[in-house]
Structure 1
């Protein structure tokens, strides 16, 4: 990494942040940044300024600061918004429900654009990801393969904003997929993904849109069913029944 010395001292932290961000966004940027002392020397600023700048980049999801190890390129730009969702909607069940509503609004269009723009290389990548879901041995493996399929579809559109938005929902998506795959089994997810993949490969925009919409509508239904089941289980637990009995007597 070869960085020019910064000339204006008025907004040093901001300028260092922007300079490092540009460097990190380069396609061939190195995974690890130079040590703090070296960065300060290259930029002509103090180590304190570098430290504050990297803290800002960490909050933005661009780097991960590993104390005693170094500063690593991260690229998790969705993390700040993901944290905001937890503050905005503290109730987890509410977050899951609303995240599926957002996905229903966005992902059918993602599938349509994927069908319109997919390349042969991207079809091969989607097939590989789908095979991971088919061959998953554990629930965790199935969930990660499921998420990666939707992530790969978003990349296929060529629209980075779609990718960022869906990545923001990925942690919530992980929780909802745990619930829905546990409820309905992995076979249904495999069938739905196969239908989406077939439509995208055939460049059939209408079929891809329809298959994705059906996929998320069924997931919404499964999540609601799983939630009702959990509620009934809590209501009928021995502790709850004992509490009701005590109240009645």
Structure 2
């Protein structure tokens, strides 16, 4: 007897979650979902099904449930991976080091792809993101400007998987950026970004990858020096 595996029927919660996710990800979608009661009526399900479905979407980082206010669209699809990495590598210094190693493996390829795939609009966004990183910024402002340059480059690579993974690493790695900018100064980050930008503008993929690899390698060296300095202070 030859039997094939039967497909598991979807639960109502799964069906509603998928339907809401499709609506939230639709271009031009509203920032807020209708009220829970209204959603239940529109979908023909109970409020408890809607509640479980929105909880699932919240865990996935697609919505933010504000009790007493409503359900708001969110853009934190990387959040589950963020939580998983934090649980897997609970020691923060080690987590920062491993995050930078992951960026070293990924971001040169992101830069190479961006050099070949970026649209004119994305190239302009990249110029603006680069110009936003200035020596007169406070440390938190410089960190956010640095994150935004790398985020803009990832979008220009036209690879959504890279975008999600790098958004996770950006969330986990803000402390490492603070350390490396403090260690080497914002001017060096600006010079490195300039090298990447120039290569991308010239559509020179290999040069963009080399410039990004150099940038992340130096950041990894700076982080290691910073962590060693902290250990030495503790041991004294």
Closer, same or farther: CA 55–98 of 1 in aligned 2, 3 Å: same
1:204 corresponds to: 204
1:69 corresponds to: 69
1:83 corresponds to: 83
Counting only pairs closer than 5 Å after superposition, residues 21-100 of structure 1 correspond to structure 2 as 21-100=21-100
Give the Cα–Cα distance (whole angstroms) in 1 for the partners of residues 115 and 215 of structure 2: 16
2:15 corresponds to: 15
Matched, 1:103 2:103: yes
Give the Cα–Cα distance (whole angstroms) in 1 for the partners of residues 43 and 116 of structure 2: 45
Displacement of 1:75 in angstroms is 2.0
Displacement of 1:165 in angstroms is 0.9
Matched, 1:112 2:112: yes
Give the Cα–Cα distance (whole angstroms) in 2 for the partners of residues 206 and 57 of structure 1: 39
Residue 133 of structure 1: SS of its match in structure 2?
Answer: coil
The two structures have a TM-score, normalised by structure 1, of 0.89
Does the 8 Å CA contact 1:147/1:173 hold for their aligned counterparts?
no
The two structures have a TM-score, normalised by structure 2, of 0.94
Displacement of 1:173 in angstroms is 2.0
Closer, same or farther: CA 159–10 of 1 in aligned 2, 3 Å: closer
Matched, 1:138 2:138: yes
Closer, same or farther: CA 10–220 of 1 in aligned 2, 3 Å: closer
Q: Which runs of 5+ in 2 are unaligned?
A: 1-8
Does the 8 Å CA contact 1:81/1:168 hold for their aligned counterparts?
yes
Bigger Rg, which one:
1
Relative contact order, CA 8 A, sep 6+: which one is greater?
A: 2
Displacement of 1:136 in angstroms is 5.0
C-alpha RMSD of matched pairs (Å): 1.2
Q: Which runs of 5+ in 1 are unaligned?
A: 1-8, 237-249
Closer, same or farther: CA 136–33 of 1 in aligned 2, 3 Å: farther
